[in-house]
Amino acid sequence: MSIKAGFKWSKDIYKSAGEITYKYTMQYSYKKYVGYLFIGLILLGLFREYKFNDLSALYLGVILSIYWYYVRTLLYKKRLDKGYKKEGINGANMQFEISKGGININGNMIPWRGISLAIIEDRGIVLKRAEGYPFLPVGSFKSEKDIKEFIQLLDKNEVKVVIL
């Protein structure tokens, strides 16, 4: 069984892969608790304002929350833009061949044991490995059946799958 997929590399695809990775990181790591801490600081600030007429904790919590949930996202998107420009492969044809042995990306074979995680989202599938995060947009597959077969291969080869 072999599944072939291909697409033309573009800025939108690069940004989608980065955004999916960021979303996964924020949902499935300790970093989400930092944001919760800042929200808790807002609640503490509200209590302190009510009880002691002191707004310092409230201001600090609001500023840190704005940074954590808004400014960091903007900075990450700017970093994605810079990363895409540095990469310099705009318009390159990406060809994938998915088989029982692994995934062949433009002639480079990645065995299944080299992939530790597959992050599945509506826009595509990000594969986590030590050397990077290959991305397969949903539109690169020929059919829905190919996507399902690919997910079955991931499961069969004991690659952890996370659906966002």
Are residues 81 and 19 part of one domain? yes
Are residues 126 and 80 part of one domain? no
What is the enclosing helix (H) or strand (E) of 98? strand 93-99
Domain boundary among 46, 63, 87: 87
Provide the 3-class DSSP secondary structure of residue 92: coil
Quickly tell me which residue has 């065995």 as its tokens. Answer: 111
Structure confidence by residue, pLDDT tens digits, 92-140: 788 888 888 888 888 888 888 888 889 989 988 888 888 778 888 888 8
User: Cβ(61)–Cβ(45) under 8 Å?
Assistant: yes
Are residues 97 and 58 part of one domain? no
Domain boundary among 47, 72, 87: 87
Residue 91: which residues within 8 A CB-CB, separation 6 or more? 8, 9, 10
User: Amino acid letter at 21?
Assistant: T
Q: Which residues pair with 125 in a beta bridge?
A: 120, 136
Q: Which domain holds residue 73?
A: 14-87
Provide the 3-class DSSP secondary structure of residue 55: coil
User: How many domains, in total, are found in the chain?
Assistant: 2
Are residues 97 and 83 part of one domain? no
Are residues 72 and 96 part of one domain? no
Are residues 136 and 77 part of one domain? no
- Model pTM score: 0.77
Cα dist from 34 to 100, 152, 163, whole Å = 41, 35, 23
Would you give per-residue pLDDT tens digits along the chain (164 residues)?
A: 688 888 888 888 888 888 898 888 888 888 889 989 999 999 999 999 999 999 999 999 999 999 998 999 899 888 888 888 787 677 778 888 888 888 888 888 888 888 888 998 998 888 888 877 888 888 888 888 888 888 888 888 888 888 88
| Euclidean distance between CA atoms 103 and 52, whole angstroms | 61
Domain boundary among 59, 87, 115: 87
| Euclidean distance between CA atoms 120 and 134, whole angstroms | 12
Which CATH number characterizes residue 152's domain?
A: 2.30.29.30
Are residues 107 and 75 part of one domain? no
The DSSP symbol for 67 reads I
Are residues 19 and 72 part of one domain? yes
Are residues 97 and 159 part of one domain? yes
